[in-house]
Structure 1
Amino acid sequence: MSGLPIRWTETTISEITNYVQRGKGPKYSEVLNSFAVVNQKAIRWFGIQEEYLKYVDEATWDSYTEERFIRSGDILWNSTGTGTIGRACLLDEIQAAKAKVVDSHVTILRTNSAAEPRYLFYWIRSPKIQFDIESLSTGTTNQVELSKTKVLETRIPLAPINEQIRIADKLDSILAKVDRAQARLDKIPGILKRLRQSVLAAATSGDLTREWREENNLEISFKDYIFDDLLVELRNGLSTKPKEDNTGTPILRISAVRSMSVNQDDIRFLEITKNDLMKYKLKVDDLLFTRYNGSLDFVGVCGLIRNLEHDNLVYPDKLIRARLNDQAIPAYIEILFSSPQMRELVTGCVKTTSGQKGISGKDLKELPLQLPSIEEQKAVIGLVSELFSRADNFEKQYTTAKDRLNCLSQSVLAKAFRGELVTQNPNDEPVSELLKRIKSIESKTKLKKKALPKSNAITKTREKIAEQSIADISIELLEKHVLDLDAEKYAVRDNFRNSFQTEINKAQNMLVNALFTVEQFRSIIDFKGNYEELKALIMNLLKGIPNISEPLLTIESRDDKSGDYLMRLVKQK
């Protein structure tokens, strides 16, 4: 990544996170409980889709250590699965409350003080990462997967932390507008589907041609038939197995036929005798019906051969060909069989065998139907064609607008990570300096942790996990900020507490006589720091500094259901 702005640097995800870990494979519960686990299907760009959550067996709850519990600010990144790999979500308080942990197909990313979580999330969402996701993934477990190593090695153009926040705020604003426009656009396919169905219903009931009849001084007139009355032939297709290569005679796949369409590019090839070719060769005005399908929506649907794109084209045995006599126009019968009224009759004849839904030629022949005169059939065909053409044009405009919105999102994200979305501030600390300081602090912390006696090791029980969520203080933050010598007054003061005085004042005003958890404390005071800073502030307020600052919080009790400690404000003397 060349040409980065001044004060930016290129680094890796490993340098801007303090926790990157794949979830573990849970033992699932057969009943719903309070311990939900996130799988890759539940992860959507907007957050967690709760209908896909599963639940962990209660007997294994104690096996989860504190760091595995998801929290606000975490990024959940799908790490396996065709069609789901690479998709991610960023957790806020609401999303984090929907579940407890993730399964082994999802990676948790937790940023350190070098990165704003939204900034990293938007980088993962950016075209650079999403377009390259296949090259980032490996196949070591017989499926495509994004390994922890690959995640940690993923490179990112990193802006100064204050600029990251400005970029994330700007992206929040722009992409929220894009999402709202996308939501409105996404209603259009449903509207067009209902429009087409309304046109077909009106076409086959006589409503669509009311004005035509008035102009021609005609009365509405329908004649009753069964489908067999209109047939010259109704024949199932070939059962010969197609070849693996592209030589021979083209044969339609069953998926080629959909309501009011036949896709002649959806083909395979086979060897066929001249006799069979003559018997099963398709021609203009042939009607094709689907005989079998796994989905009811696609059984008995009808498509017309309007023209031939192959000199010789045949059809398989899961399709049925119909050829009509002169009492009906094939294009009108296609419209009729696609109408809501006729679809209801067709699906009522469908039977299920071995998971496949099917309709027989005999059932098709016996279907009752009504036909207007040939002249009115022609008028219906013309009007339906005109209205469907307008709907098709609307659909093309929708597709174009949708593509433009997608391109806009990608363009805005690409612009953000080139440093072109917001103005750079010359007073922002260069990223390189921040990363150096974090590395130095981490080195000191590791040395101090190494010196701790083994008896201080944390167990995996719920009690110890809850204690650790409060007591695991950021040593480097306390060392750097907790004390400050006021040279003018020759007094030592609690500089760390002073730096959060606004938040402390808000807590003292809003939490009087209240019991609250750490997360509730964070939410109510609108804490802007990272998780390490929050823990350091909580411990500072719980313990104070002897002869310098008094405790402002006390632990009142523990919520057995959630495992969270409940705190309250200390009454000041």
Structure 2
Amino acid sequence: MNAININTLQPVDSEIQTDGLPPSWRETTLGEICSRIVDGSHNPPKAQPEGLPMLSAKNIQGRRVTFDNPRLILADDFAFEDLRTSVSSGDVLMTIVGAIGRTAVVPENHSPFTLQRSVAVLKNPHIDSNLLAYFLEAPMLQNYFADNAKGTAQKGIYLKALSQTPIPLPPLAEQVRISDKLDALLARVEAGRERLERVPKLLKRFRQSVLSAAVSGELTREWREEEDASWTAPAPLSQFTELDVGYAFKSADFSTSGVRLLRGDNIEPGRLRWREAKCMPPEKLKDFEGYTIRPGDVILAMDRPIISSGLKIARATEQDVPSMLVQRVCRFKPKPDLDPGFLFVLLRGHNFITYLGDKQNGTQVPHISAKQILGFAVSVPDLNEQAEIVRRVESLFSIADRIEAKYAAALSSFDRLTPALLAKAFRGELVPQDPNDEPASVLLDRIRAAREAEGGKRGRGRPAKAAAGSGDGAEVKRRGRPPGANAQAGAEGAEPKRRGRPPKVREAVSEPDAQPAAVPEAVEASAAPRGRGRPPGAGIPQASSFEDALRRLEEQKLVRTQGTRQVGLFGDTED
């Protein structure tokens, strides 16, 4: 691996650069500071209607572990898969397939779960878990993960590349200060974002209130009293406007250039959009001039007219022409006593949207007919009041538009704020250094010493040697064997197992007349080799209920942790 400048995470030709980092910090790698890094199951068991949860990347959201729609697996499958990940409180989880780089810290008293391949478990007993999770989401490391991801259909970061990820190591006391500071600052950022995200709903309510006041006459009541004006009695819309429905142009004549065809997909609430527009050669439209769109035309989608953001109605502008009206899209042609601008106000009101919602038919694609549209009852003021209503609505809407623009700018600032804070923390600029802190070099020496005490530095995918208990020698654990899979003391001579399979518990024989060594029930029950024909319940003793199964799983995990196992750096190879 090339030397890494921790501030830019770009390969350099010299030794690792320390420029910019505080003197008490050290540069290291994830593989150096984590006692074990492993991903979840590469071959998940069959999903069940009931069982224990096996989570994936979709369950790591907002720096939290969620249990929304998890894969549920049988208890014995869970016991086997848990040998691989053995998730514990304080572990850092990171998504490594698809959406790479989302993190979460496993909380205290968490519900039991295991993982699929898209999530990695970083066990780090020597550093602050919250800080590690924050550092992994810093922009420099996010760029590193993106640059080192492999794959075609769905990119992922291999465990080898993950272990080689360069990362700064602050003194332990400073780690806590940085983590606490980030907790406080990011909580304020999220609170501000939540308040800011109320703005679109408030603006939507404001615009609807303006439209309701406009079409009911409340907006211009004082003006009307001064002018001694009045409104007509309710009458069908057909008395005030005609309707053109678009033409069914042959799709075989569509092209990527020429005159744009205005389809329902091109209409959004309040505007037209032309992404992925279909076109027709001009020479094939000579006989269809009556379907030409003009600036100011009011356009309504007849298929699925109402969507989550509102009614698919818009008014054409100079930028929207030339274009042609296509089938299942209609254009209003107001009569002389109806101002097109007032018609646009009238049709965006709550009453018309409610009317269409009740009248539209069809299940897969709701549709509204021209006859139904023209049957909507309306009251209309004289042309002078119509013009005054349009003026006032546009004035109030322009205020809402300016607020919306400021909202968008503020939201963009919030989006940049979190990465900026994480970057400052990553560079050691977020909190002041304390000269009385124990340097990170001492912490790093302790981590290395602890590794040596466990059997020396372990390579990727090869767990450390484990003492054979009362035996004379040490048994070398095979690559990929889940931690805790060895038998208790006295189980020397266990035969090698295939990767990922828990070993059978062998009887210890010290003398010809010796009795077989006692084996705890949970270990004995999980010792049977796992295969496709494995009988149900072979992984743990038979449980009488879901709660009983959880209790027995915890007992089994306790038995494993009390054995002689040593954790390995990696639980799988680079697939």
Please report the TM-score for the alignment, with normalisation by the length of structure 1: 0.72
Q: Does 1:121 align with 2:129?
A: no
- Whole-angstrom CA distance in 2 between matches of 1:75 and 1:294: 47
- The Cα shift of 1:230 comes to 3.0
Aligned to 1:74: 91
Offset at 1:345? Answer: 1.0
| Post-superposition offset of 1:443 | 3.3
| 2-structure distance, mates of 1:242, 1:152 | 55
Match of 2:124 in 1: 111
In structure 2, the residue matched to 1:409 is 418
Q: C-alpha distance in 2, partners of 1:31/1:560? A: 16
When residues 155 and 215 of structure 1 are mapped into structure 2, their CA distance, relative to the original with a 3 A threshold, is farther
Of 439, 444, 451, 1:435 maps to 444
Aligned match of 1:31: 49
Alignment counterpart, residue 106 of structure 2, candidates 83, 91, 96 = 91
Partner of 2:373: 364
Q: Report the Cα offset of residue 365 of structure 1.
A: 2.9
Q: 1:300 touches 1:359 (CA, 8 Å); kept in 2? A: no
Moved more, 179-188 or 18-27: 18-27
Residue in structure 2 matching 1:172, options 170, 176, 183:
183
Q: Pick from 313, 318, 334 the counterpart of residue 324 of structure 1.
A: 334
**Aligned partners of 2:97 and 2:118 also within 8 Å:** yes
TM-superposed CA distance for 1:198, in Å, is: 1.8
5 Å-filtered alignment, 1:52-451, equals 52-58=69-75, 60-66=77-83, 68-81=85-98, 84-93=99-108, 96-97=110-111, 100-113=113-126, 115-131=127-143, 133-140=145-152, 142-219=153-230, 221-241=231-251, 246-252=256-262, 254-263=264-273, 267-272=277-282, 273-276=284-287, 278-293=289-304, 296-297=307-308, 301-305=312-316, 307-309=317-319, 312-352=322-362, 355-446=364-455, 449-451=465-467
Query: Which residue pairs with 1:10 in the alignment?
Result: 27
Instruction: Name the aligned partner's letter for residue 197 of structure 2.
Output: D
Residue 21 (structure 1) aligns with: 38
Structure 2 distance, partners of 1:59, 1:243, is 60
Whether the 8 Å contact between 1:43 and 1:88 is mirrored in structure 2 is yes
Structure 1 residue 168, shift from structure 2 partner: 0.9
Most deviating of 235-244 and 403-412: 235-244
Paired residue for 1:549? none
Identify the structure with the greater helix proportion: 1
One-letter amino acid of the counterpart of residue 86, structure 1: G
Q: Distance in 1 between matches of 2:244 and 2:298?
A: 9
Determine helix, strand or coil for the equivalent of 2:101.
Answer: coil
Distance 1:194 1:13, change over 3 A: same
C-alpha distance after superposition, 1:461-485 (max 9, x if no partner): xxx89x99xxxxxxxxxxxxxxxxx
**Secondary structure of 1:328 counterpart:** coil
CA contact (8 A) 2:93 2:103 kept: yes
Contact 2:75/2:549 (CA < 8 Å) preserved in 1? no
What residue is the counterpart of 1:501 in the other structure? none
Question: Shift of the alpha carbon at 1:282?
Answer: 0.9
Structure 2 regions of 5+ residues with no counterpart? 6-16, 457-463, 479-483, 489-546, 559-575
Distance 1:237 1:15, change over 3 A: farther
Kindly provide the CA deviation profile for residues 426-463 of structure 1, in whole angstroms up to 9, marking residues without a partner as x: 343443443344234323313683442689989xxxxx
In structure 1, the residue matched to 2:534 is none
Deviation at 1:316, TM superposition (A): 3.7
Contact 2:311 2:348 in 1 (8 A): no
Measure how far apart 1:255 and its partner are.
3.6
Matched letter for residue 317 of structure 1: Q
Gap change, CA 1:49 and 1:336, over 3 Å in 2: farther
Describe the SS at the equivalent of 1:80.
Answer: coil
Summarize the Cα distance change of 1:62–1:134 in structure 2 as closer, same or farther, 3 Å threshold.
Answer: same
Q: Deviations over 1:308-337 (max 9, x none)?
A: 125522244343222222232222222222
By relative contact order (CA 8 Å, sep 6+), the higher-ranking structure is 2
How far 1:47 sits from its partner (Å)?
1.2
Contact 1:299 1:357 in 2 (8 A): no
- Structure 1 residues 389 and 13, CA, compared in 2 at 3 Å: closer, same or farther? same
Instruction: Provide, for residues 230-283 of structure 1, a one-character-per-residue CA deviation record: whole Å limited to 9, x for no partner.
Output: 333422245344999753223345343122222357744332424255233210
Identity of aligned residues (%): 26
SS of 2:121's partner is: strand
* CA RMSD across the alignment: 3.5
TM-score normalised by length of structure 2:
0.72
Q: Is the 8 A contact 1:71 1:91 kept in 2?
A: yes
Deviation at 1:145, TM superposition (A): 2.5
- SS of residue in 2 equivalent to 1:371: coil
Query: What code does the residue aligned with 1:136 have?
Result: N
Count the aligned residue pairs.
465
1: CA distance, partners of 2:167 / 2:476: 37
In the alignment, structure 1 segments of 5+ residues that lack a partner are: 459-463, 469-557, 568-573
Distance, in Å, in 2 between the alignment partners of 1:124 and 1:117 is 11
Counterparts of 2:254 and 2:80, CA distance in 1: 51
Deviation at 1:386, TM superposition (A): 1.5
Pair 1:564-2:554 in alignment = yes
Distance of 2:435 and 2:128 partners within structure 1: 19
CA distance in structure 2 between the partners assigned to 1:71 and 1:8 by the alignment: 28
User: Residue type matched to 1:103 in 2?
Assistant: Q
